[in-house]
A and B are shown apart, each in its own frame.
Chain A
Amino acid sequence: MAKEYETVIGLEVHVELATKTKIFCGCSTAFGGSPNSHTCPVCTGMPGSLPVLNKQVVEYAAAVGLATNCTITQNCKFDRKNYFYPDNPQNYQISQLYLPICRNGHVDIELEDGTTKQIRIHEIHMEEDAGKLVHDEWDDVSYVDYNRSGVPLIEIVSEPDMRSAEEVIAYLDKLRLIIQYLGASDCKLQEGSMRADVNLSVREAGSEAFGTRTETKNLNSFSAIARAIEAEKNRQIDLIESGEAVVQETRRWDDNKEYSYAMRSKEDAQDYRYFPDPDLVPVHISDAWLEEIRSRQPEFKTEKMARYKEEFGIPDYDIGILTDSKKLADLFEATTAICSQPKKVSNWLMGETMRILKEKEMEPEDITFSPENLAKLIGLVEAGTINGSVAKEIFEKIFDEDINPEQYVEEHGLKQVNDEGALRATIEEVIAANPQSVEDYRNGKEKAIGFLVGQTMKAMKGKANPGMVNQILKELL
């Protein structure tokens, strides 16, 4: 009988913080600058330059720690991790080894079978990102851009508490949501503002001892993570079954080939010779400062869900989706505050907004339209000024360009025709022009009326009041 194996997974999650400047200098962290335009002597490791800590980094890191039930290290400091690599101009990365800012936390994850599980967080530390290497396709050279060098990161290290891809994804999703609610990062896996390295080992079911683990890098989406976990689990089981040993190593996942390969080890790279950074003085987070950070913590998903149920009376399903994104939740609340129609707002966000996001492969965080213009659109429909199909067309404009729908309706003559005389005249023409459909309807083919409604709408360029068209048609037939 085949042996049963258990997969043991711990994660190292790097999150790029949403500060305006780098962790130790006043260079911008903005994306899209030309190579090396956001650099200075500090973030390129020039001799004699002195790093000065960005206060906001400490506040974001502590806020994430508080939200994940960590103990905050009120006296913490920075260490140097020494290694040579062209993306690292100082030849060391400033990080935290001995006294990381947060320790011993946990988050609860919800699983598909309805149970919850606690995943422990070993520590969260602050560190700086490295530069970016681009490899030439033809020549034997790489190009280095240090714009990312010195961008603040937090690394969240979990305990090896996860047992499946489902748990890993639930954990990452939980972290993403917490951090987005804090505004500490946009947490986009695809764009690299959230990166997860998977430490995985397998052991025989029931065994207490851990197997030898590998670390898998380069995972850019939840689905890539799930595939990489499955592949690495199987690879290790195959090795064990054939009597070979799993080697402790770092592997790089290639999602196109659905295969991972061992990374060439940086020569003796494991010996980082950490030591306290003599250029940086210790950080003391006083009780008062910590309290100040705690008092600014936002309402998180769980509390928000309870409040929405109480305050807005919208379905649980809607609440679940709206609160799954800080952006959607904020937009929902702001729009509802203007138009006082929570269910209508929710319908626009859950229906058309989600549809367009999916179509354009965007995330809720990418939404740029304003609550004012969505509220105006809802107002126009409620007042009967425009009908539903026109509203959907206008919404696409709002989504793309945040246009003012009132102005747009005025300028493009899209007002709904509610004038009974005009409607009646058009419908009479439609009936006269389509005797077959009229005949079918009278013979009991209810569906034929749909065609006649469509023809009327077409004749009136989509602006007819559909309720009135139906009513008049039925009356005339």
Chain B
Amino acid sequence: MANVISDETIEYVGILAKLELSDEEKEAAKKDMASMLDHIDKLNELDTTGVEPMSHVFPVENVMREDVVTNGDGSEATLANAPERKEDAFVVPKTVD
């Protein structure tokens, strides 16, 4: 493997993804990420001069809807997933900026 992922990088990626990884998991993740980057390096060998960056795999554009209300009260279905609720609101640990 040409790419080497440092401990700092895996720590940082863990923080961004809100994941707590054990030491074994970190080692495994380092290997996986290094091989993914190797794969990208391989793709980079291809000359893409003059090729428009592709933003979607399907040759489709302008999938749109008219501005018409089609949904009714979805609160019960939405709140069915709430670990905790108070009346019609989700309850979460206090989150203040």
Contacts and interface: CB of A to CB of B under 8 A. Distances in A.
A and B associate in one complex: yes
Interface of A: 19-21, 25-28, 33-41, 44, 52-58, 77, 82, 84-86, 133-136, 139-146, 252, 263-264, 266-268, 271, 273, 276, 278, 280-284
A27 B71 contact: yes
B69 A86 contact: no
A41 B70 CA distance: 13
A36 B89 contact: yes
Contacts of B89: 35-36, 134, 143-145
B86 A143 contact: yes
Given A34-B88, A36-B89, A143-B91, A55 B67 contact: yes
Interface string B38-54: 00000000000000000
A39 B95 contact: no
Contact of B97 (A53, A141, A252, A281): A252
B58 A19 contact: no
A267 B56 contact: no
Given A37-B73, A58-B64, A273-B16, A282 B56 contact: yes
Interface of B: 12, 15-16, 18, 55-58, 60-71, 73-75, 77-79, 81, 86-97
A136 B63 contact: no
B61 A36 contact: no
Given A282-B55, A282-B56, A36 B65 contact: no
Contact of A142 (B73, B78, B79, B92): B92
B67 A27 contact: no
B94 A135 contact: yes
Contact of A20 (B12, B60, B68): B68
Contacts of B58: 281
A254 B92 CA distance: 25
B95 A19 contact: no
A280 to B, nearest CB: 8
B88 A86 contact: no
Contacts of A82: 16
Nearest to B78: A39
Given A34-B88, A40-B71, A53 B55 contact: no
Given A20-B67, A40-B78, 14 more contacts: A21-B70, A28-B69, A33-B73, A36-B90, A37-B75, A38-B74, A52-B64, A53-B64, A54-B66, A86-B90, A140-B93, A267-B15, A282-B56, A284-B61
15 contacts: A26-B68, A35-B88, A39-B75, A40-B78, A52-B65, A55-B64, A56-B67, A140-B94, A141-B92, A141-B93, A141-B94, A144-B92, A266-B97, A281-B56, A283-B61
B15 A268 contact: yes
Contacts of A252: 97
Contacts of B93: 140-142
B61 A19 contact: no
Given A56-B67, A263-B97, A37 B62 contact: no
A408 to B, nearest CB: 37
B95 A77 contact: no
A27 B88 CA distance: 17
Nearest to A54: B67
Contacts of A133: 92, 95
Given A143-B90, A281-B60, A84 B73 contact: no
A262 to B, nearest CB: 10
A292 to B, nearest CB: 14
B16 A36 contact: no
